[in-house]
Each structure stands twice: as structure tokens, then as C-alpha cells.
Structure 1
């Protein structure tokens, strides 16, 4: 009798479970949490100070062969005495600077560039001579000026505002600001971002660009580009506005996304160095020139960005005229 009652009760339980499943709503965008530390800004319309694309407004870096190149080298001496170059870098930018899951080692174009600079400083090829420190986009300048790191190699574009606070090497990579979108969002061009959510990384100079060209879009500011990629995959964002060198790595990790044609601006990445450390600036520029001349730059590009949308030739050398030149 007990078995019969149990058997008869089973369909009711099953029906209850099915009904509960049907009644459960499909998660909406708002039900998915934002990435940790992210901030969503509602569309605010055209900014009072819109971004205007223009040629790089920068006097240039310090020529390694300038008249004062034979001056003392206190900063290089300090680094050599310490026995290692301390480099501020990222660890999640695929193709540029990321930790390989198989080996646990940092890899990428900017990682190899850091090793090349250190090798020229120490005259060898010992990887232990580089001490990598992970810094956020928003704290790159502070990390330099506090002495936490000797140089920053972290997709740091040269801008007049930054050049007032730190020194830059001559550019080592050209990038263009473009848009990456998942294939299912109905965004076909960079002109059709209206009413969509655009993701950028906070602390970069891309905020003004996004506010200008996506003025009628919500803007999601995250702590990393990996968070932006995750936000698009979880439908919290519909597009990512970033440099094409960064987007190349993101697109390689998501086969269901594409980079749209057209761009908003051209940017140039430079190695960031604390002001007053002219001897270190000259040394870094000397390495960059060597890599251009001996084919190392091209080999570096081919290994990490070959076939991508990023610029495939080194940027022009940019050196300022020294006061002693008259």
C-alpha cells in the first residue's frame, strides 16, 4: 500500500518541478553582476570638451646621441648595482603581456621588449635581471614617480598631459582606437553604437574618446580589458573601445566577436620613465633604435602581432631638440 501511494505521488512532484522550472525567469542583463570595481555611467550626450583627433602633440623624447649623452649615468649605475631592472607591466593582455597558463611565465611583445632593454643595460641575456611589477592603468604614473618601478611598459600611449608628468621613450608601437563587438549585438559599424553599452578600462585616455563618439551610449568602466571581454560575453556590455593592439588579443580569445572597420584616433605607445632620469631614457631609446636596425623589432612584431590589425612597421623616431643645440 505504501508503495502504491508513493508511486501515485510521483507525477505530482514531477509536475511541481516542471512548473517551478517554467516559472523561473530568464536572467536579464541587470541580474548579471558587473565586474568587480566596475562603474556604469549612463549616456550623458556630447561632452563639453569633445575629443578631437590630431597628430601627436609632443616635442619628442631625448636623443641617445644628444650633446649631453656623455653625462654621468647615476640611474643606470643604480640599476646595475641593484642587479635588476624593475618594470611596471600588465599580466592579462593577451599577445602583449600575459601569464601563460601552461608554463606560468609572463609572455608577450611588451615582456620581450622589457627583456631586450634589460639585456642592453646589463650586457647579457639573463632573464633574472628583470623584476616585473603589476600595475593598474590608473596607477602607472604614480608607480613611476614614487620610484616603485624604473620603467613602465604597459600600452601607455603618449599624450601631452602625461608628458608633463613623466618622460617617454620614442614610440615603440602605433595603435588605432577601434571597436570590437560580439556578432549577435546587431552593431555593424562604429557609427551604430547608439543605445548600446560601451566598455573601456578606467584610467586610460579612452574615456573622452568613448564619450565623444558614443555620446548616446552607456559607458562601462572596468579595471582590466579581461573584465571588458567578460562583460560582453555576459551581455553587460555590447562593444569594447580600445587600441587595436589590445583588441587583437581580445579577438583571439573570442571567436564570436569581430573588430569593426574604421578608427577613432591614432595613438603611440612609449616606455614611461621618471622625469630627470635622462640617462635611462637615452638607454631605452638606444635599445629601440638597435631593434629597428637589426631586425629585432620586426621579429618581435611577427611573433606576437603578425597577421593582426596592428601597425606592422615601427613608428618614426621622435626626438626633441635639446636646448644646447641652439
Structure 2
């Protein structure tokens, strides 16, 4: 019986044919590939996203003119009607400020609360206080260093408070307030590094953010060094920690914020340049007059200098790391303070 069943099973299988399965394979050249990320060394980790390496001498350095600059607009001689001087902001009910979110001590997001904090964030709130009577009526927008001028030109923000150095070239692109902070440019290195200044930089890699004046300084003071250009100073710190960069070149308030995050780093070398940070607004054009906004920002800068707020903010954020002789001098054009615009009289 078992033999009969076995023969029947064999016959059944012989009379049946299994379907042929055809697999469609994607040609190798059509397979999606992940975008390549640049690496600093053949066996090193990938560089921060959006970064690039500039070889020595690849770009000619451009002069950074921080001395032959035009002064800002003076505040109005008396209290203005803000609905006449900054109507678009008053109608909106908030001021939109472009800042960073990763510059420790200056403008960064607190890891516990998620709130933006720092010297520049506090200054933005003081500007809102003087406009609306409420320091919280601010919309903060993250703006990358390389996009600061375009964010103003496209009216994505009302003002930029993001370590923007006043230069003659930039004054052709944006309208600056009087400075709120003065700085010196130096180097940040690992504590066990042999670097003590720019003399040790040839053949090494210097990290800066793209679009910053530090990029031009690196080309000027480190012409024999590779330059790692990143999107943020936080990326530079990561590159330094991973031995993808040997030094970070920037202004001392920025370097102090970086050093506060890593006790194994230190600021070294002589000052390479003295600069000033100012609030930036779009230049006035036929579509939008920003003169009233610049004058209003300068009124706040004068007020925080006079009532001690500037010192309170500096002591909170920088006193442990940086000495200072006080707020920078006011820089205005040779003009008398104008009277604010008067409302138009209604026709009888």
C-alpha cells in the first residue's frame, strides 16, 4: 500500500511544473546612492554637513575694511510715534529677529528649557521692550552666517543680531546700528596643542564659518593652511575635537563660548584684528524705509548703556571669560538728531 502511494505521488509531481520566478534587478548605475560627504583624512570621520575644505592659496584674500566706515543714524531728538516710524512692525505686533541658535554665550538654545538665551538674545528683547513695552514680543528666526544679508534683503527678518561685524563692504548691503560689542580675533586650540599663535599654522587646518570675516582673516594670516569652512561654530568645535582642524580662528566672544563647552581647549595668540558687532537692518529702498527702525535700535543701545543694562548683560554672559573696558563708543554720522515725523493733518 505504501509503495502504491509513493508511486502515485511521484506521478503527480512529474505531471506538474512549478512556475518560473523572474527577479527584476536594478542596474548598478541606476541604483540610488547616498550623497557623498567630504572627509578631512582618508581614515577620519566625515566632516560636518555642509562644510568644505579650501586648499592653501585657492582664494585671494580680500581686505576687511573696518576703519573707513560710515556712522549710523542718530535716534530721534524726542519720543517718536512708532506707528509712523516703524508701521510694519507695529501692525504685526512683534519684531522678527535673525539670530544663531548654537553660539554659546551669545545666542544659543538651552538644552534643558529649549529657550534661546545669550547676550544677543537679551539685546533683542531689550529692543522689543522699548518698542512694545514687552520684551517677549520677539519672533526669533535662525539665520546662517552666510545668509545674513540675504535674509534682510528678502525681508525674512526685520533685524539681524548675529555677531555681524561692521565693514565698509557690508555697509553697501545692509544698514548698521551703532556697535553693541567690540572684539579681538584670536585662535582656539586644544590645550595639548603646540600652537601658540599664527606662526605655527603653516601646514595645518584652520576652521572658520563660511561667510564670516574670520574666513578672510584665515586667508590673510594663515596663507599656508587649509581652511575648513563650516556652517556654524559648533561644527568647528566638533572638527577640532575630532582632529579634523588644528585651530579655530574667530572673535574672542565666540571663542569664549566655545571654550566654555570644552575645558580641554584654550584661547591663544595675539589679537589679529579688532572689530565691532552691530545690529543690521535692510537698507531703505522704494518699498520699505528702514531709517526709523535703525534710529529706534540706536535709541535702545543708548538706553542700555545709560541705565546699566549693558553691564548687567556683559557680566552675566562674559565676565568670567573676558575683560572689557565697557561698551563701544557710539558711532553716528555727523548730523543733528532729527525730529520725529509728525502725523499728516486731515484735510478739512
Could you tell me the TM-score, scaled by structure 2's length? 0.79
Q: Determine the structure 1 residue equivalent to 2:109.
A: 99
Deviation at 1:57, TM superposition (A): 1.7
Tell me which residue corresponds to 1:30.
42
Greater shift in the superposed pair: 30-39 or 89-98? 30-39
Q: Distance in 1 between matches of 2:256 and 2:68?
A: 26
Q: 2:314, 2:253 → 1: CA distance?
A: 11
Aligned counterparts, 1:116-265, within 5 A? 116-125=126-135, 127=136, 129-265=137-273
Match of residue 305 from structure 2: 292
Contact 2:99 2:141 in 1 (8 A): yes
TM-score, normalised relative to structure 1:
0.84
Tell me the SS of whatever aligns to 1:30: coil
Deviations along 1:161-219, one digit per CA (max 9) or x if unpaired, are 11011100000000111100112332122321111100000011222210111111111
1:273 to 266, 278, 281: 281
Query: Does the 8 Å CA contact 1:89/1:133 hold for their aligned counterparts?
Result: yes
Question: Between Structure 1 and Structure 2, how many residues are aligned?
Answer: 294
The secondary structure found in structure 1 opposite 2:170 is: helix
Aligned equivalents of 2:70, 2:83: Cα separation in 1: 23
Cα distance in structure 1, aligned partners of 2:235 and 2:74: 38
Measure the CA separation in 1 of the matches of 2:66 and 2:282: 24
Q: Matched residue of 2:254: which SS?
A: helix
| Aligned residue in 1 for 2:326 | 313
Corresponding position of 1:110 = 120
Larger Rg computed on CA atoms: 2
Q: Distance in 2 between matches of 1:76 and 1:106?
A: 25
Q: Displacement of 1:324 after TM fit?
A: 10
Deviates more, 1:109-118 or 1:256-265: 256-265
Other structure's SS at 2:74 match: coil
Q: CA deviation at 1:124?
A: 2.9
Compute the displacement of 1:65 (Å): 3.6
Which consecutive unaligned segments of at least 5 residues does structure 1 have?
1-27
Deviations 1:16-51 (A, max 9, x none): xxxxxxxxxxxx943221111111111228x75564
Name the SS for the 2:276 alignment partner: strand
Q: Cα distance 1:298–1:49, how it changes in 2: closer, same or farther (>3 A)?
A: same
Backbone CA RMSD of aligned residues: 2.3
Q: Which runs of 5+ in 2 are unaligned?
A: 1-39, 285-289, 339-348
Q: Specify the alignment match of 1:78 in structure 2.
A: 88
